[in-house]
């Protein structure tokens, strides 16, 4: 993958500047119980990278200053971090909205038997990966047995009140395509998901997010090995829509890696393109002055076309209809 980085960095993507910071997204580590083909983090069971306690405490200190609305926890499987529950509990006590990017199968992992109940009691919003409503398409990306485990996880969350119209417990699902194509229209696909999952499994959820696959890390390597990297990048470029630029997630989000360094988004994190402040080429969260962020330039490269192609794509799904 490193051989493609010069092509990604030498980009004609439009210049972007930051707005006010609303979301702090923290990658707690790359360990995961799954090794999904589309994973832009290349997470898996054998990864050992993990955020230390000092950085966890720094995140909480930044949140305590106020102004940041959302703590978005990701990985890997963020729930595998030993301080995950303490971080969630203390962030919620500060009045911060907490999102857990959950792969659903983690709810049945040894040692996580009460995880669903913990998330519900803490009022954590769950964004769960389910790249299809058919067993074959899910397992092609995520591995054998994952579909049934995901359905079981969703049923458990529903039983706790997640996805109910009269509940404050929010459950969103995430779809990404099987290969180097753009996702279908989010609204229509959500309708299909809702009907199929309710009819077949009695499952309910609040919304569906559609995300484009990013040509980096594990998915990027797959594109290279199959000779489709350049074609996919050209597809993203040709589908670029300038009206999506105002809504891309990097304008009001920062991404923190497991070491505590700051990036404009988690895709830039995976490409080691750190956020720049003044002459600092790499900034740690403990040294970040949030007040200086508005107006700063955002590091852009060719992968950014993945966020602006077609209906657009972000951590909160499509940007346009």
Q: Is the pLDDT of residue 1 over 70?
A: no
Contact, 232 vs 224, CB < 8 A?
Answer: no
Question: pLDDT class for 2, splitting at 50, 70, 90?
Answer: very low
pLDDT for res 9: 59
Domain assignment present for residue 226? The answer is: no
What is residue 6's predicted lDDT score, i.e. its pLDDT? 40
pLDDT of residue 10: 67
pLDDT tens profile 148-158: 999 999 999 99
At 197, the pLDDT band (50, 70, 90 cuts) reads very high
Specify whether the CB–CB gap between 91 and 64 falls below 8 A. no
Range of the domain at 106: 19-213+247-296
* Whether the predicted pLDDT of 138 surpasses 70: yes
pLDDT (tens digit per residue) in 216-255 = 888 888 899 999 999 999 999 999 999 999 999 999 999 9
Residue 308 lies in a domain: no
Q: What is the DSSP string of 109-158?
A: STT-TTHHHHHHHHT-EEEEE---SSHHHHHHHH-TTHHHHHHHHHHHHH
Task: Flag whether 14 is in a domain.
Answer: no
- The whole-number average pLDDT for the span 292-304 is 94
Averaged pLDDT, 123-137:
93
Residue 129 domain flag? yes
How confident is the model over 104-129, as a mean pLDDT?
A: 96
Alpha helices, DSSP H, located in 245-297: 266-270
Instruction: Please return the burial class of 310, using the count of CB atoms within 10 Å of its CB with bins 0-12, 13-18 and 19+.
Output: buried
The pLDDT tens digits for 154-181 are: 999 999 999 998 889 999 999 989 889 9
The CA-based angle 231-235-241, given to 5 degrees, is: 160
Report how far apart, in Å, the C-alpha atoms of 212 and of each of 59, 181, 187, 217 are. 29, 8, 15, 14
CATH code: domain of residue 111: 3.20.20.70
Report if residue 81 sits inside a domain.
yes
- In this structure, of 59-73, 127-141, 150-164, the range with the lowest mean pLDDT score is 127-141
pLDDT band at 278 (very low <50, low <70, confident <90, very high): confident
Residue 231 resides in a domain: no
How many structural domains is the chain composed of?
1
pTM for this one?
0.93
Q: Does 122 map to a domain? A: yes
Q: Is residue 9 domain-resident? A: no
| Mean per-residue pLDDT of the chain | 91
| Mean pLDDT of the 295-315 span | 91
CB atoms within 10 A of CB 86: 14
The per-residue pLDDT for 35 is 79
Q: Are 252 and 23 in contact (CB under 8 A)?
A: yes
Sheet holding 125-129, edge to edge: 207-210, 171-175, 125-129, 97-102, 70-74, 23-27, 253-256, 262-263
State pLDDT tens for residues 3-39: 343 455 568 999 999 999 999 999 999 999 887 776 7
Of the pLDDT bands very low, low, confident and very high (cuts 50, 70, 90), residue 316 is confident
Look up residue 314 and give its DSSP letter: B
Work out the average pLDDT over 309-315.
Answer: 86
The residue among 8, 15, 10 whose CA lies nearest residue 297 is: 15
């Amino acid at each position: 993958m490193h051989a493609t980085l010069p092509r990604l960095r030498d980009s004609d993507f439009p210049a972007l500047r930051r707005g006010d910071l609303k979301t702090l997204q923290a990658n707690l580590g790359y360990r995961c119980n799954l090794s999904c083909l589309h994973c832009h983090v290349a997470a898996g069971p054998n990864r050992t990278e993990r955020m230390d306690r000092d950085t966890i405490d720094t995140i909480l200190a930044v949140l305590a200053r106020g102004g940041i609305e959302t703590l978005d926890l990701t990985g890997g499987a963020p729930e595998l971090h030993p301080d995950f529950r303490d971080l969630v509990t203390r962030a919620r006590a500060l009045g911060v909205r907490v999102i857990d990017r959950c792969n659903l199968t983690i709810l049945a992992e040894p040692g996580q038997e009460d995880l669903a109940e913990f998330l519900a009691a803490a009022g954590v919003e769950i964004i769960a990966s389910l790249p299809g409503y058919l067993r074959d398409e899910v397992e092609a990306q995520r591995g054998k047995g994952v579909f049934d485990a995901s359905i079981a996880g969703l049923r458990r969350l529903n039983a706790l009140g997640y996805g109910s119209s009269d509940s404050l417990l929010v459950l969103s699902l995430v779809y990404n395509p099987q290969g180097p194509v753009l996702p279908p229209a989010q609204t229509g696909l959500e309708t299909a998901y809702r009907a199929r999952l309710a009819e077949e499994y009695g499952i309910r959820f609040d919304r569906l997010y559609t995300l484009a696959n990013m040509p980096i890390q594990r998915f990027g390597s797959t594109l290279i090995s199959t000779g489709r990297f350049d074609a996919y990048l050209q597809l993203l470029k040709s589908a670029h829509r300038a009206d999506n630029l105002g809504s891309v997630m990097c304008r009001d989000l920062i991404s923190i890696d497991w070491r505590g360094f700051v990036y404009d988004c988690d895709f830039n994190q995976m490409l080691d393109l750190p956020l720049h402040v003044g002459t600092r080429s790499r900034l740690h969260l403990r040294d970040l002055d949030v007040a200086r962020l508005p107006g700063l330039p955002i590091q852009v490269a060719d992968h950014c076309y993945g966020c602006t192609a077609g209906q657009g794509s972000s951590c909160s799904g499509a940007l346009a209809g």
